[in-house]
Chain A
């Protein structure tokens, strides 16, 4: 039986400065990249992911459109911590801990709504939607200087927004969001600019999945260009039946090293799958002449053509921008995860285009879709298989011998190569081992 890095002596990797147990979970060699399957199953590793990654990184908490009007709010989790994303009367977005300053109860139990104040259910303390304490029950039980104690719904230390995407960071010393997004920003722009007005609208309905497997299986798979012909054979058959596209065409897209089909790994763990035709290529923008004309009028023909590429954009650690939707992965436990899929409408694209696009989205996604549930089934199969320990290593080596670095600092490979996954796990390892050092130094 192979040694378990969590209990055995350090591995033989070249890095020696940080925690040997964490570092030994990945074997990063010149043409081979392996990951220990304990990263899917181990509770200790999961707990450290929450504290060292989710509580120290820029994490997507909402799209601005979800809190469109002053008073609108949504509640979510940042790592494992409950937060409220709220737009106050001045139109500013706050991200607040959902925790009463008195005895710690949550002050809001809804997922989404409209409120000027949040009232704690325990003793009736009232906070404005910007977090300020505005009233306490039976005030005379506290001294005169009570309102100078600074009690409030505590704000998340850092909140920044880019193109409507609201990110929060629990680390007050984190570099600004613009630094974090420096490489992936160009793709966020292309994604937003599918709207001729550069703006998206989000309907309230969200497709949500629960599954008994580790959150990173979805993170890996969303930029995996290798699995489509096998996991989505059923969907390919459906397309064949409807005469929309032959399996031959799909297979060709996947296996041709074309000039425009790439998998990319970016700095900060971000990744990209970029193809002329995606698996969801059944909705053809080019058939929507008005939309195409508006897009060209807004951006010119060259950029419009670039915008039309099918992209799966992964923003480490848990956000995807897919062609039709925003996807957020929520880690719950090592073997339980949630996914929220927020379909988008493109402002300025016209109702007919948006409706047809949504309908195609529903065909593939959601817990009853013809594609996404098959992916999730594979995550569950992997979670079960990962318990077998004779060879605990997962191979993420595909295409490592043929990848190249471009002038943007991106590692570029064939669209079926595991380039984005290697990028994801190198950043994962960096944050996990850096977190170890910070914890040892009492930070």
Chain B
């Protein structure tokens, strides 16, 4: 990269990082409707089980409409698997721009660790025990004024094809 390209690359990387950290913070603060507003109108949210030609069953294969349902479920309904609601901490590392020369759409990879705990009586199974989930994320982000919108968020969990307990919070 020449100096101009390095500068462009760094500015884009910093801008994308700030956006992803904002997303993580909104999730960890339980601001799910603000989180939803980060998605483009055609945005999607995917937790695949297998790679391969669609359609394949996935843990999550949400269109924008279904992301809205997911947020509605967590914010407006009595969902037993989120009573008490999970506390989360989303840690992002290895943030890397995979494609950035198109100023309108960038592709980003990062590693994600989500620490999760459901508060409540610690003598009861499933409560007050911290868990960690690990995954590799790919984002496709589109330019939206000074910031970004998510066209696709895809997270391949380390244990995606194995038995998982209660994954009803947002990864």
A-to-B contact residues, CB < 8 Å: 203-213, 231, 233-234, 237-238, 241-242, 335, 338-339, 343, 354-355, 358-359, 361-363, 366-368, 370, 373-374, 376-378, 380-381, 383-384
Contacts and interface: CB of A to CB of B under 8 A. Distances in A.
Contact of B57 (A206, A209, A212): A206
B164 A210 contact: yes
Interface string B57-85: 11111000010011011001111110100
B126 A234 contact: no
26 contacts: A208-B163, A210-B165, A211-B126, A211-B165, A211-B166, A234-B73, A237-B72, A238-B72, A241-B72, A339-B163, A343-B57, A358-B55, A366-B60, A367-B59, A367-B164, A367-B165, A367-B166, A368-B60, A370-B69, A373-B79, A376-B81, A376-B165, A377-B83, A377-B126, A377-B166, A383-B125
Interface stretch (B35-43, B46-54, B94-102, B108-116): B46-54
Nearest to B45: A368
Contacts of A380: 124-126
Contact of B47 (A203, A368, A373, A376): A368
Contacts, number: 119
Contacts of A373: 79, 81, 166-168
Interface of B: 47-50, 52, 55-61, 66, 69-70, 72-73, 76-81, 83, 123-126, 161-168
A368 B168 CA distance: 5
Given A208-B162, A339-B163, A242 B69 contact: yes
Consensus secondary structure, chain A interface? helix
Contacts of A361: 57
A359 B61 contact: yes
Nearest to B164: A367
Given A211-B126, A381-B80, 10 more contacts: A206-B161, A207-B57, A231-B80, A354-B55, A362-B61, A366-B59, A367-B165, A367-B167, A374-B81, A377-B80
B69 A204 contact: no
B58 A362 contact: yes
Contacts of A381: 80, 124
Contacts of A211: 126, 165-166
Contacts of A207: 49, 57, 59
Given A237-B76, A238-B69, A203 B166 contact: no
Contacts of A335: 125
Contacts of B48: 205
Nearest to A345: B55
Nearest to A207: B57
Given A204-B50, A204-B56, A380-B125, A238 B73 contact: yes
B163 A213 contact: no
A370 B70 contact: yes
Contacts of B59: 207, 366-368
B46 to A, nearest CB: 11
Nearest to A385: B124
A384 B57 contact: no
A205 B165 contact: no
A123 B168 CA distance: 45
A355 B126 CA distance: 34
Contacts of B162: 208
Contacts of B55: 203, 354-355, 358-359
Contacts of A338: 163
Contacts of B56: 203-205
Contacts of B77: 233-234, 237-238
Nearest to B168: A373
A238 B78 CA distance: 11
B78 A234 contact: yes
B76 A205 contact: no
